[in-house]
Each structure stands twice: as C-alpha cells, then as structure tokens.
C-alpha cells in the first residue's frame, strides 16, 4: 500500500517544487511584467503616432514658411535698391515701376505725400489706407512677434525697438547708419490688426529711441533671440501665457489666429487660436525715428495691403505692393501642394488658400492638422497641412497597437509554450530516471528470486537428505523452471538494451507461426499446470511468415507470462491461431484482472506497471509487453490489446503472411 502511495505521489508531482518556484520567479513573472508594460505602451501608441506625424508635417510647413520669408527678404533687398534711386518728388515722374510686385512708388517729405501723376487702379486704395499715416495725421497698427517681449525681459534692447516688421540693419563701426540688407521681417507667426484712426492736430515727433551701440558684423543676429523665445513659448505654455500678459500690460493688442490646428494637445479653443503676433499703434514719424527701412502691412475691408519704405535723404521713399502679384509669387515659392499623405496650402488673412487643392470630404480650411503663422509682415496668413485621409493618424495608431498586441501575445505564448515544453521534457526525464531506478531494483529482485530458489534446491539435493526420487525430480523440475524464468528475464534485459540502437537486423527465415505458438505453449504447459492453469490451443492451419524464431518465441513467452501473472483467480489461458486477410494472428486470452480503462496503450510503454514498488503483489520489470511490441514491429507486425468479453484480456500478435515459395518479399 505504501508503495502505491509513493508511486501515485511521484506521478502527481513529476517536477520538484523548488524548480517550479524558480521557474515562476525567474521566467513567468518577468514575462508577465514585460507583457503588461508592452501592452501599456501600446495604449499610448496613438499619441506617439500622432506626434510623429505632426512633427513630420510641421517640418514641411516650417519649410514653406521659411521659403516665403526668404522671398520677402529678397524682395526687400531689391525694393530698397530701387527706392534708393528716389531722391525727391521729381524722381516719381514716369510713374509705375518696372519691378513687380511693386505697383507704383511714393515719396514722403515734411509730412507731405507725393505719388506719380498717373492713373492707377490701386492708387485710391493706397491713399485711403496709408495716406493719413504717411502724412502723420493718423497712427497705424504695426506688428511684431511676441518674442519682442522676451527680448525686453532679457534686457537686451528697449521694448519698443523690435516692434513692427521693420528692418533694423547691422551697423558697421565706421558707419552706424549703413544698411546691411540682410533681413526685412521677423520669422515668427503673425496675427491680425486694426487701425487706430486718430487725427493729429500737429503731428508730434515722439522722442527718438536710441539705437543700440554699434556692433560688428560677427555679432549674433537679433533673430536668434526671437527663435529662442518661440521655442520656449511652444515648449512651456506657462511661459507663453506670461509673455502674453506682459505684452498686454505694455499696451499691445493680442490677436487671434484664423485657424485651429487639430494636432497637439491644445488646452482650449481660445488658446488654440491665439496668435503669436502682437500689434500697437504708431505714427510714421515715430517709426522713422526707430527704423530706417521695412515693410508695413495693414488690414482693411479689402484685405491685406502692404507697402515698403526706406529713408531717402531728408524724406522717405517706398512702393505700394500689388497683392495679387505677391500672392502669385508666394504660391510659386511654396512646396508641392499635394502628396499621398498631406495637402499643403498657404491661407491668406481671410482664411482662403492661395491655390485651392481639393480637400477630402469633411475637411475644413480652418481646421488644418498642423499650421504655422508665416510672418508679422503677413498678419493672419498661415502655412498649413491637411491630411489626405483624416483618419490616417488613427488608422496608423490602430495598426501599430494591433501589431504590438499581436507581437506581445505571440511572444508570451512562445514563452509559455517553451516553458511548457521544458517542463514536459524535464518531467519526462525525471520519470524516466525514476523508472530506471525502479527497473534496476525490480530486475535485481527478479534475478535474485530464481537464483535463490535454484540455490536452495541445489543445496538440498547436494546434502543428500532427501531420499525420495519423486521429490528429487520435483526439485529438479523447479530448478529448471526457475532457470527458464531467469533466462527469459535475461533475454528481456538484453532485448531492452538493443531497443532503439543500431543493432544488426534479425536474421529472417520462413516458419510456421502456428507451430511456433503451439511449441511455446507446450514448453510452458508443465509450469502452468503446476500453478493450476488450464491451457488450450487451437489453429485453423499453418501460418507461414518470415521471421526470427527465437525473437518470436520471446514475444509469445512474454504474452503467456503476462497472462499467468495477472490471472490470480480464474486460471485459464487459451492460445488461438488464424488468418485475417493478409495477416497471421495469434491470440493469447485469459480470464485475469484485465487492464483498467484508458491504459490499453500505456501498458506497452517501457517500465509501465500498475504498481512498480518492490512490495507489489506482482513482480516484474515492466518490459515484457514493450519488448514484445518492439519485436513485432521489426517483423512488420504489431501486438495489440483488447478486453475479453466476460472478463479478462486478449493480446494479439499480428504479422504479415509470407508469400508462396519463390515470391518472398525482399527485406
């Protein structure tokens, strides 16, 4: 009973508990933790994909804005060179300039505005929008980036200096007023403006703001601080709000953008549309005291209007810009409008594209994916990008999330499957090691039992104490039986040692399987009869097969020995031979205890026994049936088990019948 409990315990827990704990702590738990981290990262994949797409498209938008800025820079250099030729009102004769997009020139001196005496469709618009300002009868809003506030906070220049899209030239040591012509506008975004219409009785000239001390050309450009402020404001919303608050305290007008980009995490629609450009009213006299050259935009009911001015002697000269021609030049400088992923467009102050590519269904020009204000020179103008597929970011994020989930699931399954395989292999190896240990103990016991009997009866015969001849013959018969038993056990051990190895194939010959079965039963019949067994034999005729006689005899001996061993009550063994199709079949039937349900195939496994403890009621090494099947398979046959009707077992040896003489199969 104790042996059975030990055997059941060994099969119920084939892997030691310490190994299971190490596996769980070193493999399973880290795998689960890594899987959870990967799945958590997958949930954030949508944000990552959107930000990646935002960064890529924003780089294109920035490039478009920089190209437009460069176009205005070059235009300012050309206009400055041409305006330098206008020394007074008399130079305006001839009227319209030949430098597009300049519509016509003008000259201002002593508060008087001079224009060409020619008919031009834009002349009335110019006089209405800019005449009062140039004659110092009204102030006009001038624009600058909010970065000007940051520069004031850094204490580099007076706060009023950087306002307006004005050109502040670098200054040579020898000539503090000489123009360098490097930059005509700020590169940061622009907003909207309104004009302060306030007539001036006697236009006062504001106190001039002193210019910075002359610097060398190698000094860092003023735009560097603006770019720094822009980066800080974009990265730190609190800093950006502080800039807006300070600008409002200084009297600037805070403007609103006319678009609301969808990308990013804007805290509210109000902040989403706030412009980075600020405006404040100035007079032309005050502007001339601070700057020497630049562009001046103005928003009116007709849209954006733009002039260029520069100092000329004791006055100022400039040009009124034809906005239709400027729009065409800006549209030509922008990158390709459409690709497979995005639509790139430049929007004017009314939020309308300069070139109108077809937007996808449901898209709105005022809701780009990303956008950037171009320049204070072009207030409310935007460069923006729209997705050709509005669901592109979501679909990419969904695909990436599914991929992460799938890969994580596959890796986790692979880890578990690998762990299961390792556990199964280890369990099998441990069971095999335990079975071999039990096998060695059982074989030692099995070898010792017949040897003990043989030695006992041999010593009794040698002592001469037994005078009865009948008893002497009985002792000799027992010794022979035990020797045969020992021989069968040694044969099984030798067969087991050859199993699975590359041993020489068995020599085959033509033989009668029915006769071999009858002879084997007759060989064991005296032993069976002594143990109370009744044996029967029947055959339908000869069964010619190709096989090894000794090996097949060992198969039959193992089947008969198994029936004898597991028939404790009804001691009956029947051997029947017959044909089934092209097969020769030998059946060994008994009325023993049979095989429990579900173990019909396991009994053919090596070392398998219902109870393999040394105290088990039935001795054995668990090799007989396994060796029998192995030998049968090498002959092209098999050994099978089936329950016998009425109780007991039937073991069948099946082999292919041999062909008639001269037609044997080649082996």
Rounded CA gap, 259 and 275, in Å? 10
- Over residues 246-273, the pLDDT tens digits come to 888 888 888 888 898 988 654 444 445 7
Q: Do 304 and 310 contact (CB within 8 A), yes or no? A: no
Query: What pLDDT score does 223 carry?
Result: 52
CA dist 422 → 11, 13, 426, 430 (Å)? 17, 15, 6, 12
DSSP strands (E only) in 508-615: 509-512, 534-539, 544-547, 572-580, 583-590
Query: What pLDDT score does 218 carry?
Result: 38
Q: Do 352 and 365 contact (CB within 8 A), yes or no? A: yes
Residue 54 has pLDDT above 60, yes or no: yes
Rounded CA gap, 217 and 135, in Å? 35
- Over residues 276-300, the pLDDT tens digits come to 888 999 999 999 988 899 999 999 8
Q: What is the DSSP letter of 338?
A: B
Query: What pLDDT score does 220 carry?
Result: 41
- Over residues 384-434, the pLDDT tens digits come to 999 988 777 777 777 877 877 788 778 778 877 877 787 778 777 777 777
Residue 610 has pLDDT above 80, yes or no: no
**pLDDT band with cut points at 50, 70 and 90 for residue 667:** very low
**pLDDT band with cut points at 50, 70 and 90 for residue 224:** low
**Range in 150-154, 198-202, 233-237 the model is least confident about:** 198-202
Residue 537 has pLDDT above 80, yes or no: yes
Query: What pLDDT score does 647 carry?
Result: 86
Please enumerate in sequence order all residues whose Cβ is within 8 A of that of 45, keeping only pairs 6 or more positions apart, or say none. 397, 400, 401, 404
Identify which of 447, 479, 507, 494 has the alpha carbon closest to the alpha carbon of residue 634.
507
Residue 578 has pLDDT above 90, yes or no: yes
Q: Which position has the higher pLDDT, 586 or 569?
A: 586
Q: How many CA atoms lie within 13 A of 384 on its CB side?
A: 32
Complete edge-to-edge strand list for the sheet that includes strand 370-373: 342-347, 382-387, 370-373
- Over residues 542-565, the pLDDT tens digits come to 999 999 888 898 889 889 888 888
Q: How high is the mean pLDDT of the chain?
A: 76
Residue 203 has pLDDT above 90, yes or no: no
What is the separation of C-alpha 657 from the centre of its chain, rounded to a whole number of angstroms? 61
The CB density around residue 659, as the number of other CB atoms within 10 Å, is 13
Rounded CA gap, 162 and 294, in Å? 12
Q: Which residue has the tokens 């005449």?
A: 131
Query: What pLDDT score does 310 carry?
Result: 94
264-301 burial code (b ≥16 CB/10 A, e <16): eeeeeeeebbbbbbbbbbbbbebbbbbbbbbbbbbbee
CA dist 281 → 112, 185, 198, 608, 616 (Å)? 20, 18, 10, 102, 111
Give the percent of the chain with pLDDT over 90. 28
Q: Over 81-122, what HEC string results?
A: HHHCCCCCHHHHCCCCCCCCCEEEEEEEECCEEECCCCCCCC
Quick one: average pLDDT of 134-160?
68
**pLDDT band with cut points at 50, 70 and 90 for residue 630:** confident
Rounded CA gap, 604 and 221, in Å? 92
Query: What pLDDT score does 482 carry?
Result: 73
Q: Do 540 and 577 contact (CB within 8 A), yes or no? A: yes
**pLDDT band with cut points at 50, 70 and 90 for residue 229:** low
CATH label, 505-611+619-656, candidates 1.10.390.10, 3.30.1180.20, 3.40.50.1240, 3.30.565.10: 3.30.565.10
Q: Do 589 and 661 contact (CB within 8 A), yes or no? A: no
Please give the angle made by the CA atoms of 652, 655 and 656, to the nearest 5 degrees. Answer: 145
**pLDDT band with cut points at 50, 70 and 90 for residue 196:** very low
Q: Domain spans of the chain?
A: 52-154+225-388, 391-477, 505-611+619-656
Query: What pLDDT score does 215 carry?
Result: 37
Identify which of 564, 562, 555, 617 has the alpha carbon closest to the alpha carbon of residue 586.
555
Quick one: average pLDDT of 112-124?
87
Q: Which position has the higher pLDDT, 348 or 231?
A: 348
Q: Which residue has the tokens 């002193």?
A: 210
Rounded CA gap, 309 and 337, in Å? 33
Specify whether domain 391-477 bears CATH 3.40.720: no
CA dist 505 → 516, 627, 667 (Å)? 21, 15, 10
Residue 110 has pLDDT above 60, yes or no: yes
H-only helix segments in 464-542? 469-498, 513-530
**Range in 286-295, 368-377, 625-634 the model is least confident about:** 625-634
The CB density around residue 312, as the number of other CB atoms within 10 Å, is 20
Quick one: average pLDDT of 590-600?
83
Q: Do 589 and 573 contact (CB within 8 A), yes or no? A: yes
Quick one: average pLDDT of 87-104?
79
Q: Which position has the higher pLDDT, 607 or 451?
A: 451
**pLDDT band with cut points at 50, 70 and 90 for residue 161:** very low
- Over residues 451-486, the pLDDT tens digits come to 777 887 787 778 877 778 887 777 787 788 778 767
Quick one: average pLDDT of 560-572?
85
């Amino acid at each position: 009973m104790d042996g059975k409990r030990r055997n059941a315990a060994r099969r119920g827990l084939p892997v030691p508990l310490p190994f299971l704990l190490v596996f769980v702590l070193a493999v399973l738990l880290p795998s689960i933790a890594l899987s959870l981290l990967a799945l958590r990262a997958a949930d954030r994949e949508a944000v990552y994909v959107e930000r990646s797409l935002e960064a890529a498209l924003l780089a294109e938008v920035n490039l478009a804005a920089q190209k437009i800025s460069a176009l205005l820079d070059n235009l300012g250099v050309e206009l400055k060179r041409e305006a330098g030729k206008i020394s007074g009102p008399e130079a305006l004769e001839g009227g319209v300039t030949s430098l597009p997009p300049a519509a016509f020139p003008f000259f201002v001196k002593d508060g008087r505005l001079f224009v060409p005496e020619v008919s031009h469709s834009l002349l009335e618009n110019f006089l209405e929008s800019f005449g009062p300002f140039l004659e110092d009868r009204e102030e006009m809003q001038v624009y600058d980036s909010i970065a000007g506030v940051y520069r004031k906070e850094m204490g580099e220049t007076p706060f009023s200096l950087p306002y307006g899209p004005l050109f502040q030239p670098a200054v040579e040591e020898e000539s503090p007023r000489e123009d360098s012509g490097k930059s005509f506008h700020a590169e940061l975004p622009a907003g909207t403006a309104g004009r302060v219409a306030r007539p001036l009785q006697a236009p006062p000239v504001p106190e001039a703001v002193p210019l910075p001390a002359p610097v060398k050309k190698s000094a860092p450009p003023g735009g560097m601080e603006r770019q720094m402020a822009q980066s800080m404001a974009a990265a730190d919303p609190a800093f950006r709000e502080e800039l807006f608050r300070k600008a409002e305290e200084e009297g600037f007008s805070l403007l609103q953008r006319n678009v609301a980009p969808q990308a990013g995490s804007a805290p509210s629609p109000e902040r989403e549309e706030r412009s980075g450009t600020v405006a404040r009213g100035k007079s032309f006299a005050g502007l001339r005291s601070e700057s020497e050259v630049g562009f001046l935009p103005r928003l009116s009911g007709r849209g954006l209007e733009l002039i260029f001015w520069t100092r000329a002697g004791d006055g100022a000269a400039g040009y009124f810009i034809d906005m239709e021609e400027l729009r065409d030049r800006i549209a030509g400088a922008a990158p390709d409008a459409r690709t497979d992923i995005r639509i790139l467009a430049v929007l004017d102050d009314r939020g309308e594209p300069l070139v109108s590519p077809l937007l996808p269904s449901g898209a709105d020009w005022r809701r780009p994916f990303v956008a950037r204000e171009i320049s204070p020179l072009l207030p409310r103008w935007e460069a923006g990008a729209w997705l050709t597929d509005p669901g592109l970011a979501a679909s990419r994020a969904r695909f990436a999330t599914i991929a992460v989930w799938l890969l994580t699931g596959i890796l986790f399954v692979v880890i578990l499957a690998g762990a299961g395989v390792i556990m199964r292999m280890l369990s099998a190896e441990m069971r095999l090691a335990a079975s071999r240990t039990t096998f060695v103990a059982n074989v030692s016991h099995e070898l010792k039992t017949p040897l003990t009997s043989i030695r006992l009866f041999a010593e009794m015969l040698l002592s001469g104490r037994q005078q009865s001849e009948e008893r002497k013959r009985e002792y000799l018969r027992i010794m022979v039986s035990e020797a045969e038993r020992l021989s069968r056990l040694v044969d099984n051990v030798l067969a087991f040692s050859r199993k699975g190895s590359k041993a020489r194939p068995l020599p085959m010959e033509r033989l009668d399987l029915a006769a071999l079965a009858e002879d084997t039963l007759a060989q064991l019949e005296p032993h069976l009869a002594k143990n109370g067994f009744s044996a029967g034999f029947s055959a339908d005729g000869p069964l010619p097969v190709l096989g090894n006689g000794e090996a097949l005899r060992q198969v039959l001996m193992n089947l008969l020995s198994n029936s004898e061993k597991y028939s404790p009550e009804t001691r009956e063994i029947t051997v029947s031979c017959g044909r089934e199709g092209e097969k020769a079949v030998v059946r060994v039937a008994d009325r023993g205890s049979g095989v429990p349900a579900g173990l019909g195939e396991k009994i053919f496994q090596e070392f398998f026994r219902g109870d393999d403890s040394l105290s088990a009621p039935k001795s054995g090494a668990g090799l007989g049936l396994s060796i029998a099947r192995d030998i049968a398979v090498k002959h092209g046959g098999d050994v099978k088990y089936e329950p016998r009707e009425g109780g007991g077992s039937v073991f069948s040896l099946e082999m292919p019948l041999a062909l008639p003489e001269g037609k044997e199969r080649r082996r």
